[in-house]
Amino acid sequence: MSSGVDEVASENPTHPEEMKSVFDLRVGKHITLQGSARITPAGVISTGIAVTAVALAFGYLASSVKRRRY
């Protein structure tokens, strides 16, 4: 029987510089998790920009909150 992870890992890449990751996680005797991820260099850059934007927004909010002094 073929699993979905095996099928994803054997597909031809849709982008020449595509990066793939496949993992199997076993928890105890009866639980097995399988997963895979694919990303392109443009996706890595976009993710970095999004994380930076969220971090800057949180930093701005944190600096704008007035601290209470007792």
Residue 34 lies in a domain: yes
What is the count of structural domains for the chain? 1
23 belongs to a structural domain: yes
Domain that holds residue 43: 4-64
Give, as one character, the DSSP assignment of residue 13: P
Whether 69 is in a domain gets the answer no
Q: Provide the pLDDT for residue 63.
A: 85
- Cβ atoms of residues 18 and 38 within 8 Å: yes
Q: Give residue 56's Cα distance to chain centre.
A: 20
Cα separation of 13 and 38, whole Å? 9
In-domain check, residue 45: yes
Q: What is the pLDDT of residue 13?
A: 57
The answer to the question of residue 70 being in a domain is no
- Express each pLDDT in 5-61 by its tens digit: 555 555 665 667 888 899 999 998 899 999 999 889 999 999 999 999 999 999 988
Cα–Cα distance, 44 to 32 (Å, whole number)? 28
